């Protein structure tokens, strides 16, 4: 017979948002059980944002050093991946050990259970034979796992996902990256800067296909300078692995059948939501769904909340944390504000960085808004010109012309993610375009390209 324990709240999955909900709910006086089968903190600290940005930081240092030749004399660059591998192992992940995170959780008053949890009816989670019955309810934060496309032969090869590449101790001499989205693009460029011969295979007609076309164009030009081979519009036919080498057979955009050979293959072609085996059917929800429907308070059902990647509102740590705050307010009977998604930002940390918020021009047109767009090239701004090598970028603004405010923006540049903040505020607060135009912007900054983009609105 299974054991039964009565608590206030069960948090199933302790990604960034789940960890935060569990901690805050316990601090508010609820009895909380937090369940995770892997590492407390989820993908971001161990296999995602943090280690990938450490690789990128190091790779960008190499790129800047190579720019010395154009600006300040000479510098000898001899890439070595070991400092970044050591930093990831020792400083970021404690050698992929979550003891510190577990201790932090327990100190906040959360009971931590390591294991695979499943819903077993409303307000009940079962882990290894124990039923946790939650008076207030259950928060789901089960996140995503790397997905591999159904390509012939692929599953039989030792391909890398994000969970392998971020444990690498050296840069491979050659690397094929399947997927030119944010994760694939960031890592492709970073490894190229460490000296790997890198090819990116992307099914869409361009890399960073979710971004504005202008952003993809600037990043593609930067990739070309870094020696990254981009094969967009490619369709992979099969993958084989023999004698320590991968062979990827694909058909290119011109319908020509070609092969690529490499030491390593990184698959960064999407994520699978962890929804299929968490007992959703026991509460009347569909386990084969791509995401869970949530209301403005993050409620997904009776005594059930869902936060993070599984809500389909943007697979970002900041979204998981934002939704965690909302769920905690609802759980503890505190007032809103409740969820709003009109100004969700994201940054792709390629060089140049690509910051985006709200809507692309196409999304705004699809939403039948009366759209005006404007762009301003960084290279034509004083700061972009002063910056010289590595100073390429563009700002694009998307206006709802009837409403008279921005509904979206993109900022590409050396600090594109930082320049984004003023644009994100404008979209979030629906600042009238006329007011934005009145603003005095410091000279000579990259963000002055925002005025050029606003001036070009048409």
Ligand X SMILES: Cc1cc2nc3c(=O)[nH]c(=O)nc-3n(C[C@H](O)[C@H](O)[C@H](O)COP(=O)(O)OP(=O)(O)OC[C@H]3O[C@@H](n4cnc5c(N)ncnc54)[C@H](O)[C@@H]3O)c2cc1C
Q: Which residues make up the interface to ligand X (CB under 6 A)?
A: 12-17, 35-39, 42-44, 47-49, 52-53, 116-117, 141-144, 162, 183, 274, 278, 308-309, 315-318, 320
Shortest distance, position 36 Cβ to ligand X, whole Å: 4
CA dist 331 and 305 (Å) reads: 9
Pairing of strands 111-114, 117-119: unpaired
Supply the Cα-derived Rg of the chain in whole angstroms: 23
Output 163 or 237, the one with its CB closest to ligand X.
163
Output 410 or 451, the one with its CB closest to ligand X.
410
Output 38 or 264, the one with its CB closest to ligand X.
38
Residue with tokens 């994520």: 271
Residue 143's SS3 state is: coil
Shortest distance, position 413 Cβ to ligand X, whole Å: 17
The H-or-E segment that residue 102 falls in is helix 99-107
Shortest distance, position 397 Cβ to ligand X, whole Å: 23
Q: Is 36 left (phi over 0), alpha (psi -120 to 50) or beta?
A: beta
Output 43 or 60, the one with its CB closest to ligand X.
43
Q: Do 183 and 210 contact (CB within 8 A), yes or no?
A: no
DSSP for 342-398?
TT-EEEE-SSSEEEEEE--HHHHHHTT--EEEEEEEGGGSHHHHHH-TT---EEEEE
Shortest distance, position 185 Cβ to ligand X, whole Å: 11
Shortest distance, position 3 Cβ to ligand X, whole Å: 18
Cβ-closest position to ligand X: 143
Q: Which of 337, 340, 148 is nearest to 236 (CA)?
A: 148
CA dist 134 and 123 (Å) reads: 5
Output 42 or 390, the one with its CB closest to ligand X.
42
Output 44 or 369, the one with its CB closest to ligand X.
44
CA dist 405 and 408 (Å) reads: 9
What would the two tokens of residue 401 be?
């012309």
What would the two tokens of residue 248 be?
């990827």
CA dist 24 and 30 (Å) reads: 9
Q: Which of 215, 192, 216 is nearest to 204 (CA)?
A: 216
Residue with tokens 């909900």: 21
Output 143 or 361, the one with its CB closest to ligand X.
143
Residue 432's SS3 state is: strand
**Rounded to 5°, angle at Cα 62 from 409 and 448:** 30
Q: Do 140 and 277 contact (CB within 8 A), yes or no?
A: no
Residue 38 makes CB contacts below 8 A (sequence gap 6+) with none
Shortest distance, position 318 Cβ to ligand X, whole Å: 5
Shortest distance, position 50 Cβ to ligand X, whole Å: 8
Output 140 or 397, the one with its CB closest to ligand X.
140
Output 71 or 100, the one with its CB closest to ligand X.
100
Output 159 or 316, the one with its CB closest to ligand X.
316
């Amino acid at each position: 017979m299974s054991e039964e324990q009565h608590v206030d709240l069960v948090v199933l999955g302790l990604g960034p948002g789940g960890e935060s909900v569990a901690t805050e709910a316990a601090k508010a006086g609820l009895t909380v059980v937090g369940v995770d089968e892997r590492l407390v903190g989820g993908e971001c600290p161990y296999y995602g944002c943090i280690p990938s940005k450490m690789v990128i930081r190091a790779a960008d240092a190499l790129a800047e050093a190579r720019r010395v030749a154009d600006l300040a004399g000479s510098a000898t660059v001899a890439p070595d991946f070991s400092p970044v591998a050591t930093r990831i192992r020792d400083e970021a992940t404690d050698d992929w050990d979550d003891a510190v995170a577990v201790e932090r959780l327990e100190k906040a008053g959360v009971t931590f259970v390591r294991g695979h949890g499943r819903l077993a009816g409303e307000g009940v989670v079962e882990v290894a034979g124990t039923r946790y019955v939650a008076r207030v309810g259950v928060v789901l934060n089960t996140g995503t796992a790397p997905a591999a496309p159904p390509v012939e032969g692929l599953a039989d090869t030792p391909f890398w996902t994000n969970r392998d590449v971020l444990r690498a101790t050296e840069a491979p001499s050659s690397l094929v990256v399947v997927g030119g989205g944010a994760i694939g693009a960031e890592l492709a460029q970073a490894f190229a800067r460490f000296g790997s011969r890198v090819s990116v295979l992307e099914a869409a007609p361009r890399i960073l296909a979710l971004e504005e076309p202008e952003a993809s164009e600037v990043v593609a030009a930067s990739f070309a300078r870094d020696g990254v081979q981009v094969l967009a519009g490619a369709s992979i036919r099969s993958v084989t692995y023999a004698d320590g080498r991968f062979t990827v057979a694909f058909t290119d955009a011109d319908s020509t059948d070609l092969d690529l050979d490499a030491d390593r293959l990184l698959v960064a072609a999407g994520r699978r939501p962890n929804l299929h085996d968490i007992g959703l059917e026991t509460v009347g929800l569909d386990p084969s769904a791509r995401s869970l429907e949530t209301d403005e308070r993050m409620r997904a059902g009776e005594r059930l909340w869902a936060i993070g990647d599984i809500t389909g509102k943007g697979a970002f740590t900041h979204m998981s944390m934002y939704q965690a705050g909302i769920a905690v307010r609802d759980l503890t009977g505190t007032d809103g504000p409740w969820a709003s998604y009109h100004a969700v930002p994201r940054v792709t940390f390629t060089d140049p960085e690509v910051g985006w918020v709200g809507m692309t021009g196409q999304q705004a047109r699809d939403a039948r808004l009366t759209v005006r767009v404007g762009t301003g090239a960084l290279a034509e701004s004083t700061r972009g010109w002063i910056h010289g090598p590595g100073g390429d970028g563009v700002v694009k603004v998307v206006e709802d012309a009837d409403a008279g405010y921005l509904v979206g923006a993109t900022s590409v540049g050396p600090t594109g993610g930082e320049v984004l903040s003023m644009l994100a505020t404008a979209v979030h607060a629906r600042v009238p375009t006329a007011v934005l135009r009145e603003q005095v912007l410091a000279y000579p900054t990259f963000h002055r390209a925002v005025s050029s983009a606003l001036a070009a609105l048409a």
